[in-house]
């Protein structure tokens, strides 16, 4: 029996399982204490770090940023705790996250579209990312992250069957068990048979995988692609590339957990890898061209830093490639394109083993831009040193571990996908942020959960934690 | 049923297993990424800590150098010669002014009022927008600096602005933005002031644009004088302003440079400069004149005058050439050539020829020959010398004298400066021995003086010098020709010969006073060797005294003092060599004088390079240089407090006796008084003199005024107040007393010549006395009172 037919026979198994588990353990259990504590610890450390990073600007003491965050945090934590009582997916309740998923996503997307135009739209730094309603500023793109996770998880389970290649029946079980070499022999024979029908069949080994992949991508993955593309359109217009990248990555993670075939994962990984390599090569070529021009310029006279920046900007097109170029060459144009990266590295590096001490950071004095958003952890690294930074990273890792632990122990498939998706969202943001501030990947503006300022992000993150806590209530007590 | 149940369980397990594996795989990926980033942090924070934190500190800090105050230079009496003061340069950054859109016209006007620089000039500099730095005014003092600062702090424009961005939408508070001039800055620096201007410029040297000593003791003691620069390291924020909560200030205090106390005496220097300048004009000296005064007992340099052909530079502005020369050089068309010519002229002007340029000392060198001969015992005071006017020496034309001196004693030979006798003397010593003496007198090596890098002399190799078949160089050396030494070497060797036989390194620094204490060098630190014995030195002095007393140096005599010396006239052969026949010969005339002869306290060497032949004075050391040195000594010796010892005749000349004039006709009385060297003031128009002030037989200073009355009067019964004449020279004191209706007569020790000042008056100032009372004044050389006069 194939996996597919097995699943088809048991399409309602999720519901059945859940009802059974409810029958076994009729009462709500408490939510997962370690996960709750870990998120609180991270929130407190994050607020402390944000206080230190943001309390001074242009030789002026200012608590604007931290006060907003400090006032909002307790409210949001209470909201989070309340949200944890909403079940993720239960058949006997109306108010579940699963039932809310489509509307949640739709509202988030509509709000995001509203940022582009209309009475609530506002431009800031050449982008329209904010929704302003009276005194409230909101970045709805954050909500899309959760919306996408919920919608994907719902769809993955509503479908009633795992992701599969359309028109392909899984081969007989006997076939999978025979030797690899024998499989090639069988394949070769059928290829010769096909050739005897038509010589065009010689293209079969090339056409077949492409056809299968495209069919899979366009048919099976159609709803997912549709949701994702609709979500990304406003972000592309805003523009907010980093959010788009994070949402796409979260979507991929959800699909992987939801059962994306390994073959597809492999193909996608290869495509992404090749694309990345092409981008790097392209960026490097343009960098070389710019360097040659600068060298030419040098023969007549030493160009100023501004002129060098201008040459790079002229030679490297499209401008997004600049990030790749200066990721590879952070020592070039230190006062222009790689200023931020350099400042971050200096902040992190000057922390040493034990750091310069809490509140003692010097790079926050108008050296490091975005010190309260994307680079708050650089300041934290400078103040607490390697020991502080690695401790926080350890807590982050524990947090991610506990999240995945919950995803593994929940009783139904949908909840598991939602939890894993949310934890992936945290993991991706943490890893991307730290990778950016240490110049491990090209710089992009991804905030650090619990650390960076921003109420939209705080609400989204704590909502995520609330959902995970809610999910953790379905785990039987003995499994703790 | 059983089968179905089993199936369900199996399927459930299958799905969950796949999902669990996927979750686990994602977690493993995440952990790997965490570990990777952890390692990255370790690499940045621990492995690259030094590199990155250094870079960060470099970016965050600003070093401000605190220039150490350069040490002060004093003369031996503690009088100020050179000092440094903190000043500021006012600098504008025209580019910044343009970028900030500052109203430069207003700026120029505002600064012009404060700095006293024309506004147009400031505006012109402020509009050079392609530059980043223009000096508006250099070296402004602290008061001006405060005014400029105040001006810069005042905003030139104020503007009400709303906060930008989101605050504007929510409704931010309006703020007042003040615009201030940011393009002008005040840069602290130090300036060296030389309080006496050109005085002793060649000894002191100057400080160049990099604040380093150039020439003189400024160069030699640059390390001690300059001290150690300090610095302030302060933190700045990313905008370049001072960092908030800045407790990281690191201050490395500057160590002030040591002060120098020179052996130079400013007054002696002043006397010498005065007379050297006089000599230049009086004798039309073309190529400069120079003089050194040392204390021959220790070879301390007391004064050093160096008037070059290009004049004397002022260390306050060492680059300025004399105006006439500057005009002449500016006329050169080619820029490279002109710059080179200016540079050469400056170097010529800065150079201290007394230690760098060799010359043929001529007869002055006979001191060395004499000292060597006496020390060797080959001659003594009883030795006779016969001079026929010429003397054959193997290997050269006969040595000649101006006249045939005939049979002479040693003293006479020295007094006559008889070349023949000195050649015979040298022959008695022997070439090799003589050569050794020259070496022992330090004439073949650098003196090692601390007023600059000096040169050693140019001598014949010892094989040539000691060649018995060709004695030309050996014989000529005996009277100071065919070799070259620097004047400093000559003075040093002569000081050893007359000052007790010990050769000392000439030095100009008495003490180095640092914060940690004084470094005072004793005489023994400068002692090179004992060349001749104390006794021989005494004999040399006695013989040289004869030169001034009766011989060629007669004109250097100073009343009341025993002066010794030696004249010198050297033909400049080297310069002459390339010149066409018939050009006038060039001479360096010189005189070496010292006093007093029993315990010499000062020795002076004066050189006049190429005096004019048309002044009516013969070009000889004895006629040109000796009187100048005499005049110098006449001023300096009383100033130094050297007790004079007068002969009876000299003492008698101190005062004159007032003749009896009552009863005579006014004309007769006048001639009687003038015969005694008195001036007569006749009051009334009677036929005969009725009375006189002062009375007949009284002693008065020569040149005093005597009042004679031809009609009856009550003048002698009137009382007047005695003025204070202490600290005045003889002539001034006499004049002041006469104006008050009193008379002056000389009492006691010193002669009222030269620099001698009144130290005592017989009636105290403020008391009353009858008109015509004679006030006795005595002279001395109280240094503190002497200063007052010299300053004028």
CB B46 within 8 A of CB A354: no
- Residues B62, B662: Cα–Cα separation, whole Å: 92
- Residues A286, A315: Cα–Cα separation, whole Å: 6
* Helix pair angle (A376-409, A455-472), 10° resolution: 20
Residues B604-624, mean pLDDT to the nearest whole number: 84
What end-to-end distance do the CA atoms of chain A give, in Å? 35
Query: Does A352 reach chain B within 8 Å, measured CB to CB?
Result: yes
Return the C-alpha torsion angle B40, B45, B46, B48, nearest 10. 90
CB contacts under 8 A, A 36-95 vs B, are: 56, 58-61
Choose the closest CB to B241 out of A59, A122, A362.
Answer: A59
- Residue B477 has phi, psi (to 5 degrees) of -60, -35
Q: Which residues contact B751 (CB under 8 A, 6 or more apart)?
A: B559, B560, B638, B644, B646, B650, B654, B779
- Residues B538, B540: Cα–Cα separation, whole Å: 5
C-alpha distance from B180 to closest chain A C-alpha (Å): 17
- Residues B720, B771: Cα–Cα separation, whole Å: 6
Percent of residues, chain B, with pLDDT higher than 70: 90
CB contacts under 8 A, B 161-190 vs A, are: 165-166, 169-170
C-alpha distance from A225 to closest chain B C-alpha (Å): 21
Percent of residues, chain B, with pLDDT higher than 90: 11
Residue A21's alpha-carbon distances to A91, A477, B51, in angstroms, are 12, 12, 59
pLDDT digits (tens, 9 = 90+) for B230-264: 888 878 887 777 777 666 667 788 888 888 899 99
Query: Does B19 reach chain A within 8 Å, measured CB to CB?
Result: yes
Comparing C-alpha atoms, which of B775, B735, B780 is closest to residue B756?
B780
Query: Does A135 reach chain B within 8 Å, measured CB to CB?
Result: yes
Q: Using DSSP bridges, classify how beta strands B587-595 and B602-609 pair: parallel, antiparallel or unpaired.
A: antiparallel
Please tell me which residue of chain B has the smallest CA distance to A435.
Answer: B37
Task: Select from A64, A334, A348, A399 the residue whose CB has the most chain B CBs within 10 Å, as the one to mutate to test that interface.
Answer: A348
C-alpha distance from B132 to closest chain A C-alpha (Å): 14
pLDDT digits (tens, 9 = 90+) for B92-118: 888 888 888 888 888 888 888 888 888
CB contact under 8 A, A59 and B11: no
For residue B229, give both structure tokens.
């620069």
CB A86 within 8 A of CB A415: no
pLDDT band at B592 (very low <50, low <70, confident <90, very high): very high
CB contacts under 8 A, B 448-487 vs A, are: none
- Residues A361, A149: Cα–Cα separation, whole Å: 38
How are the residues of chain A apportioned to helix, strand and coil, as percentages rounded to the nearest 5? 70, 5, 30
CB contact under 8 A, B45 and A431: no
Q: Is the pLDDT of residue B710 over 60?
A: yes
Please tell me which residue of chain A has the smallest CA distance to B237.
Answer: A365
Query: Could you list the pLDDT tens digit for every one of the 480 residues in chain A?
Result: 455 555 555 545 555 655 555 555 544 567 899 999 999 999 999 999 999 999 888 777 888 889 989 999 999 999 999 999 898 887 777 888 999 999 999 999 999 999 998 888 888 877 888 888 877 888 999 999 999 999 999 888 875 555 665 444 455 555 556 677 887 888 888 888 888 988 888 888 888 878 888 888 888 889 899 999 999 999 999 889 999 999 999 999 999 988 888 888 888 899 999 999 999 999 999 999 999 999 998 888 888 888 888 888 888 888 888 889 999 998 888 888 888 999 999 999 999 999 988 988 888 888 888 888 899 999 999 999 999 999 999 999 999 999 999 998 887 788 889 999 999 999 999 999 999 999 999 988 899 999 999 899 999 999 999 999 999 888 876 555
Q: Is the pLDDT of residue B82 over 60?
A: yes
CB contact under 8 A, A416 and B12: no
C-alpha distance from A196 to closest chain B C-alpha (Å): 40
Chain B residue numbers touching A401 (CB-CB < 8 A): 27, 31
Q: Which residues contact A259 (CB under 8 A, 6 or more apart)?
A: A156, A162, A163, B18, B19, B22
CB contact under 8 A, A259 and B19: yes
Residues B209-224, mean pLDDT to the nearest whole number: 86
Q: Which residues contact A410 (CB under 8 A, 6 or more apart)?
A: A416, A419, A471, A472, A474, A475
Residues B707-721, mean pLDDT to the nearest whole number: 76
CB contacts under 8 A, B 234-253 vs A, are: 235, 237-239, 241-244
A131 bridge partner residues:
A121, A138
Query: Does B378 reach chain A within 8 Å, measured CB to CB?
Result: no
Could you write out the DSSP letters of every residue in A37-90?
HHHHHHHHHHHHHHHHHHSEETTEE--HHHHHHHHHHHHHHHHHHHHTTS-SS-
CB contacts under 8 A, B 255-314 vs A, are: none
CB B608 within 8 A of CB B286: no
Chain A residue numbers touching B23 (CB-CB < 8 A): 257, 404, 407-408, 416, 420
Q: How far is CA A327 from the centre of its chain?
A: 20
- Residue A433 DSSP code: H
Question: Exposed e or buried b for every residue in A144-179, given b needs 16+ CB within 10 A?
Answer: bbbbbbbbbbbbbbebeebbbbeeeeeeeeeeeeee
What pLDDT does A18 receive? 58
Chain B residue numbers touching A59 (CB-CB < 8 A): 237, 239, 241-244
Choose the closest CB to B60 out of A59, A257, A362.
Answer: A362
Chain A residue numbers touching B41 (CB-CB < 8 A): 348, 381, 386, 389-390, 393, 434, 438
Q: Is the pLDDT of residue B54 over 60?
A: yes
Comparing C-alpha atoms, which of B433, B408, B422, B430 is closest to residue B365?
B422
How are the residues of chain B apportioned to helix, strand and coil, as percentages rounded to the nearest 5? 40, 25, 35
CB contacts under 8 A, B 29-58 vs A, are: 30-31, 33-34, 36-38, 40-42, 44-46, 48-49, 51-53, 55-57
- Which residue do the tokens 């006979």 mark? B366
What end-to-end distance do the CA atoms of chain B give, in Å? 135
Task: List, as own/partner pairs, every contact residues B464-473 make where C-beta atoms lie below 8 angstroms and the sequence separation is at least 24, other chains included.
Answer: B465/B431, B465/B435, B466/B431, B466/B432, B466/B435, B467/B395, B467/B431, B468/B394, B468/B431, B469/B394, B469/B395, B470/B394, B470/B395, B470/B396, B471/B393, B471/B394, B471/B395, B471/B396, B471/B427, B471/B431, B472/B393, B472/B395, B472/B396
- Residues B221, B271: Cα–Cα separation, whole Å: 26
**Residue A422 parent element (H or E):** helix A413-437
Q: Which residues contact B9 (CB under 8 A, 6 or more apart)?
A: none
Strand locations in A346-397 (E): none
Residues B68-72, mean pLDDT to the nearest whole number: 85
What pLDDT does A17 receive? 59
Average pLDDT in chain B: 82
In this complex, how many residue pairs, one in chain A and one in chain B, have their CB atoms less than 8 Å apart? Answer: 166
For residue B551, give both structure tokens.
């011989």
CB contact under 8 A, B26 and A438: no
Residues B304-331, mean pLDDT to the nearest whole number: 83
- Residues B24, B31: Cα–Cα separation, whole Å: 10
Count of all residues that appear for chain B in the document:
792
Query: Does A398 reach chain B within 8 Å, measured CB to CB?
Result: no
Average pLDDT in chain A: 86
CB contact under 8 A, A259 and B56: no
CB contacts under 8 A, A 84-123 vs B, are: 122
10 Å Cβ neighbour count for A117? 10
- Residues B308, B348: Cα–Cα separation, whole Å: 8
Q: What ipTM was assigned to the predicted interfaces of this complex? A: 0.91
pLDDT digits (tens, 9 = 90+) for B544-567: 988 888 888 888 888 778 889 998
Give me Rg for the CA atoms of chain B: 40
CB A53 within 8 A of CB A380: yes
What pLDDT does B650 receive? 66
C-alpha distance from A164 to closest chain B C-alpha (Å): 14
Question: Exposed e or buried b for every residue in A312-333, given b needs 16+ CB within 10 A?
Answer: beebbeeeebbbbbbbebbebb
CB A122 within 8 A of CB A174: no
Choose the closest CB to A349 out of B56, B170, B239.
Answer: B56
**Burial category of B15 from C-beta neighbours within 10 Å (exposed 0-12, middle 13-18, buried 19 and up):** buried
CB B545 within 8 A of CB B539: no
What pLDDT does B3 receive? 45
Question: Exposed e or buried b for every residue in B374-412, given b needs 16+ CB within 10 A?
Answer: bbbebbeeebebebebebebeeeeebebeeebeebbbbb
CB contact under 8 A, A17 and B237: no
For residue B106, give both structure tokens.
């207003």
Query: Does A280 reach chain B within 8 Å, measured CB to CB?
Result: no
What pLDDT does B8 receive? 37
- Residue B561 DSSP code: B
- Residue B555 DSSP code: G
What pLDDT does A477 receive? 65
Please tell me which residue of chain A has the smallest CA distance to B165.
Answer: A124
CB contact under 8 A, B30 and A435: no
Please tell me which residue of chain A has the smallest CA distance to B44.
Answer: A349
Choose the closest CB to A385 out of B18, B45, B237.
Answer: B45
- For the four alpha carbons of B617, B621, B627 and B629, in that order, the dihedral sign comes to positive
- Residue B446 has phi, psi (to 5 degrees) of -65, 145
Q: Which residues contact A20 (CB under 8 A, 6 or more apart)?
A: none
Q: Is the pLDDT of residue B181 over 60?
A: yes
Residues B197-201, mean pLDDT to the nearest whole number: 85
Query: Does B233 reach chain A within 8 Å, measured CB to CB?
Result: no
- For the four alpha carbons of B365, B370, B373 and B376, in that order, the dihedral sign comes to negative
Query: Does A365 reach chain B within 8 Å, measured CB to CB?
Result: yes
- Residues B22, A427: Cα–Cα separation, whole Å: 15
CB contact under 8 A, B7 and A124: no
CB contact under 8 A, A365 and B26: no
Tally of helices (H runs) and strands (E runs) in chain B: 28, 35
Angle at B183 between CA B182 and CA B189, to 5 degrees: 105
- Residues B97, B103: Cα–Cα separation, whole Å: 8
- Residues A228, A66: Cα–Cα separation, whole Å: 34
**Burial category of B448 from C-beta neighbours within 10 Å (exposed 0-12, middle 13-18, buried 19 and up):** middle
C-alpha distance from A353 to closest chain B C-alpha (Å): 6
> pTM for the complete prediction?
0.61
Q: Is the pLDDT of residue B770 over 90?
A: no
Residues B740-755, mean pLDDT to the nearest whole number: 68
pLDDT band at B568 (very low <50, low <70, confident <90, very high): confident
Chain A residue numbers touching B38 (CB-CB < 8 A): 390, 393
Residues B438-452, mean pLDDT to the nearest whole number: 88
- Residues B553, B567: Cα–Cα separation, whole Å: 6
CB contact under 8 A, B166 and A397: no
Residues B23-27, mean pLDDT to the nearest whole number: 92
pLDDT digits (tens, 9 = 90+) for B671-706: 887 877 788 878 777 778 877 877 777 777 777 788
For residue A426, give both structure tokens.
């945290």
For residue A178, give both structure tokens.
């025979």
Choose the closest CB to B56 out of A56, A363, A381.
Answer: A363
């Amino acid at each position: 029996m194939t996996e597919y037919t097995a699943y088809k026979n048991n399409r309602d198994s999720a519901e059945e399982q859940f009802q059974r588990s409810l029958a076994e353990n009729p009462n709500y259990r408490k939510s997962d204490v370690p996960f709750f504590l870990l998120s609180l610890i991270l929130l407190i450390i994050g607020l402390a770090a944000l206080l230190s990073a943001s309390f001074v600007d242009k030789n002026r003491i200012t608590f604007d940023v931290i006060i907003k965050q400090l006032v909002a945090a307790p409210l949001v934590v209470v909201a989070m705790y309340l949200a944890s009582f909403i079940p993720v997916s239960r058949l006997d309740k109306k108010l579940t996250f699963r039932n809310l998923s489509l509307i949640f996503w739709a509202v988030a997307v509509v709000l995001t579209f509203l940022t582009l135009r209309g009475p609530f739209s506002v431009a800031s730094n050449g982008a329209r990312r904010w929704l302003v309603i009276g005194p409230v500023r909101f970045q709805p793109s954050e909500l899309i992250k959760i919306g996408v996770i919920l919608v994907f998880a719902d769809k993955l389970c509503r479908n009633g069957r795992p992701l599969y290649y359309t028109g392909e029946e899984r081969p007989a079980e006997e076939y999978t068990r025979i030797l690899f070499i024998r499989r090639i022999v069988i394949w070769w024979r059928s290829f010769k048979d096909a050739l005897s029908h038509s010589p065009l069949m010689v293209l079969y080994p090339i056409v077949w995988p492409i056809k299968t992949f495209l069919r899979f991508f366009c048919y099976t993955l159609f709803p997912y692609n549709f949701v994702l593309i609709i979500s990304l359109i406003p972000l592309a217009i805003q523009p907010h590339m980093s959010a788009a990248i994070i949402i796409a990555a979260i979507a991929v993670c959800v699909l992987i957990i939801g059962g994306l075939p390994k073959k597809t994962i492999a193909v996608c990984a290869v495509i992404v890898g090749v694309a990345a390599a092409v981008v790097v090569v392209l960026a490097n070529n343009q960098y070389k061209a710019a360097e040659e021009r600068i060298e030419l310029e040098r023969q007549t006279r030493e160009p100023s830093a501004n002129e060098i920046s201008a040459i790079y900007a002229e030679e490297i097109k499209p401008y997004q490639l600049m990030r790749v170029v200066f990721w590879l060459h952070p020592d070039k144009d230190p006062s222009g394109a790689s200023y931020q990266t350099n400042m971050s590295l200096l902040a992190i590096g000057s922390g040493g083993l034990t750091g310069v001490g809490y509140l003692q950071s010097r790079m926050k004095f108008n050296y490091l831009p975005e010190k309260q958003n994307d680079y708050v952890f650089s300041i934290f690294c400078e103040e607490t040193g390697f020991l502080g930074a690695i401790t926080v990273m350890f807590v982050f890792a524990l947090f991610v571990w506990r999240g995945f632990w919950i995803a593994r122990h929940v009783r139904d498939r949908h909840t598991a996908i939602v939890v894993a998706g949310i934890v992936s969202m945290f993991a991706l943001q943490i890893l991307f942020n730290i990778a950016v501030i240490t110049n491990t990947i090209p710089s992009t503006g991804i905030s650090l959960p619990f650390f960076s300022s921003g109420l939209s992000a705080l609400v989204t993150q704590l909502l995520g934690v609330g959902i995970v806590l809610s999910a953790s209530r379905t785990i039987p007590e003995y499994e703790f | 049923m059983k089968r179905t149940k089993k199936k369900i369980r199996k399927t459930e397990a299958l799905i969950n297993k796949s999902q669990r594996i996927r979750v686990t795989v994602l977690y493993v990926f995440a952990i790997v990424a965490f570990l990777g980033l952890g390692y990255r942090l370790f690499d940045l924070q621990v492995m690259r800590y030094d590199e990155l934190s250094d870079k960060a500190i470099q970016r965050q800090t600003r070093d401000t150098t605190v220039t150490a105050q350069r040490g002060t230079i004093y003369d031996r009496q503690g009088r100020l010669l050179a000092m440094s003061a903190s000043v500021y340069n006012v600098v504008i950054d025209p580019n910044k002014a343009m970028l900030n859109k500052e109203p430069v016209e207003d700026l120029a006007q505002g600064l012009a009022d404060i700095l006293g620089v024309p506004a147009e000039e400031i505006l012109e500099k402020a509009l050079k927008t392609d530059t980043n730095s223009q000096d508006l005014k250099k070296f402004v003092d602290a008061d001006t600096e405060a005014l400029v600062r105040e001006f810069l702090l005042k905003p030139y424009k104020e503007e009400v602005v709303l906060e930008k961005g989101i605050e504007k939408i929510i409704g931010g508070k309006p703020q007042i933005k003040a615009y201030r001039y940011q393009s002008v800055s005040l840069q602290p620096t130090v300036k060296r002031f030389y309080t006496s201007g050109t005085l002793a410029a060649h000894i002191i040297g100057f400080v160049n644009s990099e604040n380093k000593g150039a020439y003189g003791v400024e160069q030699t003691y640059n390390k001690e004088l300059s001290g150690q620069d300090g610095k302030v390291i302060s933190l700045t924020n990313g905008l370049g302003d001072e960092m908030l909560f800045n407790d990281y200030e690191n201050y490395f205090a500057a160590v002030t440079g040591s002060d120098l106390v020179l052996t130079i005496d400013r007054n002696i220097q002043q006397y010498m400069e005065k007379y050297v300048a006089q000599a230049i004009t009086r004798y039309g000296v073309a190529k400069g004149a120079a003089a050194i005064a040392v204390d021959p007992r220790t070879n301390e340099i007391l004064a050093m005058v160096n008037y070059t052909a290009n004049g004397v530079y002022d260390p306050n502005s060492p680059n300025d050439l004399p105006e006439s020369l500057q005009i002449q050089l500016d006329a050169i068309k080619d820029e490279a050539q002109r710059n080179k010519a200016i540079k050469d002229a400056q170097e010529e002007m800065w150079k201290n020829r007394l230690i760098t340029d060799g010359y043929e000392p001529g007869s002055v060198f006979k001191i060395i020959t004499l000292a060597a001969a006496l020390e060797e015992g080959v001659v003594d005071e009883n030795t006779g010398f016969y001079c026929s006017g010429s003397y054959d020496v193997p290997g050269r034309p006969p040595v000649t004298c101006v006249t045939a001196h005939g049979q002479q004693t040693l003293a006479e030979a020295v007094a006559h400066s008889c070349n023949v006798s000195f050649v015979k003397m040298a022959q008695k010593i022997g070439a090799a021995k003589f050569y050794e003496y020259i070496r022992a007198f330090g004439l073949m090596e650098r003196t090692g003086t601390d007023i600059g890098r000096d040169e050693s002399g140019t001598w014949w190799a010892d094989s040539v010098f000691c060649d018995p078949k060709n004695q030309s160089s050996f014989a000529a050396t005996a009277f100071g020709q065919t070799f070259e030494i620097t004047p400093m070497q000559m003075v040093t060797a002569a000081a050893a010969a007359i000052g007790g036989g010990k050769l000392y390194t000439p030095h100009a620094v008495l003490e180095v006073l640092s914060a940690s204490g004084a470094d005072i060098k004793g005489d023994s630190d400068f002692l090179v060797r004992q060349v001749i014995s104390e006794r021989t030195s005494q004999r040399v002095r006695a013989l040289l005294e004869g030169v001034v007393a009766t011989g060629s140096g007669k004109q250097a005599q100073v009343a009341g003092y025993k002066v010794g010396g030696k004249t010198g006239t050297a033909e400049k052969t080297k310069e002459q060599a390339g010149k066409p026949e018939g050009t006038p010969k060039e001479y360096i005339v010189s005189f070496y004088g010292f006093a007093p002869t029993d315990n010499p306290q000062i020795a002076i060497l004066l050189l006049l390079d190429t005096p004019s032949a048309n002044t009516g004075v013969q070009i000889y050391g004895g006629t040109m240089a000796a009187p100048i040195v005499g005049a110098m000594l006449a001023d300096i010796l009383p100033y130094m407090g050297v007790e004079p010892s007068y002969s009876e005749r000299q003492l008698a000349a101190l005062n004159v006796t007032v003749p009896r004039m009552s009863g005579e006709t006014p004309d007769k009385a006048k001639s009687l008084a003038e015969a005694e060297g008195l001036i007569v003031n006749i009051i009334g128009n009677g036929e005969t003199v009725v009375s006189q002030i002062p009375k007949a037989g009284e002693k008065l200073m020569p040149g005093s005024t005597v009042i004679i009355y031809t009609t009856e009067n009550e003048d002698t019964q009137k009382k007047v107040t005695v003025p204070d004449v202490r600290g005045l020279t003889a002539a001034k004191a006499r004049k002041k007393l006469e104006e008050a209706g009193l008379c002056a007569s000389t009492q006691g020790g010193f002669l009222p010549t030269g620099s001698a000042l009144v130290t005592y008056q017989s009636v105290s100032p403020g008391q009353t006395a009858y008109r015509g009372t004679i006030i006795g004044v005595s002279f001395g050389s109280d240094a503190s009172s002497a200063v007052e006069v010299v300053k004028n």
